[in-house]
Amino acid sequence: MAFWGAPSRIENHAERAVLASFEMHRQMETLAEVFHSLNLPTPTIGIGINTGTVNVGNMGSRYRLAYTVIGDPVNLAFRLQGITRQYQVPTIVGEETMKRYPGMIYRELDTVAVKGKSASTRIYQPLCPVEEKTAELEQMLALHKKGLSAWYQQDWQEAAEIFRQLLASNLQDFYYASMLEKIDDNQRDTRSMPDPE
């Protein structure tokens, strides 16, 4: 775990965290090449980033102290890290991080329920700095937004058609494969529900 803003105040902490995640993934690609050359399993990592007010300081007992952070934003960051595998993306950020760093292009992924909270939160994948956005990326995000809207409205057929189209344009984008699996699961659950009397 890493955190910014303590003990010294940092204004652009969201930006630093997101850019650090990009650099970590670049370094992992280099490390993966070394592992591959040694015929070892390729290492991968998932990163969750969230922004919020937390408690920070020396915590623990007299036997073991650690300078760390605790609080709901920390719990959500941990949750986001855990679901990177579920959504097949390298990094997931919370809504507050996305708002605090507008210099990045994001793809909205879904909403997730936060343990102990009644409301869900939107989650995002950072894609690239704003200045690197291309016309092709802009078109993809427009179609993605349409597909995600259908997903939220539980229009499984339209969402699946759009996600299949997006997956066909980039077979390495495993996020859409994961969403198609979710749609299949939801349709299966709907078919298994008893008819109302």
Q: Are residues 70 and 91 in the same domain?
A: yes
d(CA 187, CA 154): 10
Number of domains in the chain: 2
pLDDT at 17: 97
Model confidence pTM above 0.75: yes
Please say which residue of 76, 102, 130 terminates a domain: 130
On whether the CB atoms of residues 94 and 50 are closer than 8 A, the answer is yes
Boundaries of domain holding 117 = 1-130
Q: Are residues 4 and 16 in the same domain?
A: yes
Q: Are residues 54 and 98 in the same domain?
A: yes
Which residue reads 């427009």 in tokens? 142
Mean pLDDT score, 128-142 = 96
pLDDT at 37: 92
**Model confidence at 195: pLDDT above 90:** no
Q: Are residues 98 and 2 in the same domain?
A: yes
**Model confidence at 103: pLDDT above 60:** yes
Average pLDDT, the chain: 91
Please say which residue of 130, 158, 173 terminates a domain: 130
pLDDT at 192: 59
Mean pLDDT score, 175-193 = 83
Q: Are residues 125 and 161 in the same domain?
A: no
pLDDT at 93: 98
- Alpha carbons within 13 angstroms on the beta-carbon side of residue 57 total 4
Q: Are residues 84 and 161 in the same domain?
A: no
**Other beta carbons within 10 Å of 37:** 8
d(CA 130, CA 127): 9
Question: 21-73, pLDDT tens digit by residue?
Answer: 999 999 999 999 999 999 999 888 999 999 998 988 888 888 888 888 988 99
Q: Are residues 189 and 110 in the same domain?
A: no
Q: Are residues 107 and 158 in the same domain?
A: no
Contacts of 50 (CB under 8 A, 6+ apart): 73, 74, 76, 77, 80, 93, 94, 96, 97
Q: Are residues 79 and 169 in the same domain?
A: no
d(CA 37, CA 42): 10
Confidence at 185, pLDDT banded by 50, 70, 90? confident
Q: Are residues 122 and 166 in the same domain?
A: no
pLDDT at 107: 98
Percent of the chain at pLDDT exceeding 70: 94
pLDDT at 109: 98
Mean pLDDT score, 75-80 = 94
Tell me the CATH number at 2: 3.30.70.1230
Q: Are residues 41 and 120 in the same domain?
A: yes
pLDDT at 114: 76
Percent of the chain at pLDDT exceeding 90: 72
Please say which residue of 130, 152, 174 terminates a domain: 130
Q: Are residues 191 and 95 in the same domain?
A: no
